[in-house]
Amino acid sequence: GAVVSQHPSWVICKSGTSVKIECRSLDFQATTMFWYRQFPKQSLMLMATSNEGSKATYEQGVEKDKFLINHASLTLSTLTVTSAHPEDSSFYICSARDLQGTNEKLFFGSGTQLSVL
Amino acid sequence: GNSVTQMEGPVTLSEEAFLTINCTYTATGYPSLFWYVQYPGEGLQLLLKATKADDKGSNKGFEATYRKETTSFHLEKGSVQVSDSAVYFCALWGNEKLTFGTGTRLTIIP
């Protein structure tokens, strides 16, 4: 089946630095990718919807200047957490929408655990 | 907006026990409903889905029926196995996005 690769799986960084997370669709083209954030014992919260070649659409309350999303190709989207602070520590998950599929065919990466010291 | 309320875990059962994980939703229109499963160290995988009222989704022995009158989509399995240990997420698709429940961690002991 379709596979989405998310990298890195975990990262520890110092406060004030930036961290980039990559999400790749390995065997299909994804015109749309989604970025989620999950706090312990809470839901996956949608942060933004990323469409290839256009600006991402951010959910209410998500700072677009802090969470930079780039979707430059049909197989790669990146999320950059800029000037990270401890409150940005969380589990980040991407998903990719299969170009050939219906609305419901979403494939998920295995997530990135970010810890900001 | 849309929301999903899911039974909180963790849930621990013995092998071959009956499983129910409750899920109710609030949504405008007629959303599609899903159960996703996340095995340790892996990404979320679609377990089953239902796209309209009274539809029953099923896969790997799991079932869930789309109940519009009770706005529910409870997950059931008649006899669980150790390999079913995972985190289960109920979700709905509406307004061009997936809305998730909080997830339920299931542990099956031999």
Average pLDDT of B43-51? 91
Q: Is B5 on the interface with A (CB under 8 A)?
A: no
Mean pLDDT over residues B78-92, rounded?
A: 96
Would you state the pLDDT for residue A94? Answer: 95
Say if the Cβ atoms of B51 and A93 lie within 8 Å. no
B4 at interface of A, judged by CB pairs closer than 8 A: yes
Chain B residues in contact with A46 by the CB 8 A cut-off are 97-99
Q: Note the pLDDT tens digit of each residue in B55-78.
A: 999 999 999 999 999 999 999 999
Find, among A13, A44, A28, A49, the residue nearest to A100 by Cα: A28
Closest chain B residue to A92, measured at CA: B43
pLDDT of residue A101: 52
User: pLDDT class for A86, splitting at 50, 70, 90?
Assistant: very high
**Distance separating alpha carbons of residues A91 and B72, to the nearest angstrom:** 28
**Per-residue pLDDT at A39:** 80
| A34/B97 Cβ within 8 A | yes
Q: Is the pLDDT of residue B81 over 70?
A: yes
Min Cα separation B79/chain A (Å): 26
- pLDDT (tens digit per residue) in A33-79: 999 998 877 788 999 999 888 889 999 999 999 999 998 888 999 99
The pLDDT, as a whole number, for residue A104 is 52
From chain B, the residues in CB contact with A111 under 8 A are 43
* Cα–Cα distance measured from residue A49 to residue A59, given in angstroms and rounded to the nearest whole number: 8
Region A100-114 average pLDDT: 78
Residue A74's alpha-carbon distances to A17, A96, B64, in angstroms, are 28, 10, 34
* Predicted pLDDT at A100: 66
Confidence of residue B34 (pLDDT cuts 50, 70, 90): very high
Average pLDDT, chain B: 93
Q: Which tokens sit at A5?
A: 């690769």
- Cα–Cα distance for residue pair A111/A12, rounded to 1 Å: 14
Give tens-digit pLDDT for A87-101.
Answer: 999 999 999 988 665
Which residues in chain A have Cβ-Cβ distances shorter than 8 Å to B46? 104, 106
pLDDT of amino acid B15: 97
pLDDT at A1: 59
Please enumerate in sequence order all residues whose Cβ is within 8 A of that of A61, keeping only pairs 6 or more positions apart, or say none: none
> What count of CB pairs under 8 Å joins A to B?
46
Give me the residue from A41, A49, A108 closest to B43, CB to CB.
A108
- CA distance, residue A40 to nearest chain B CA (Å): 9
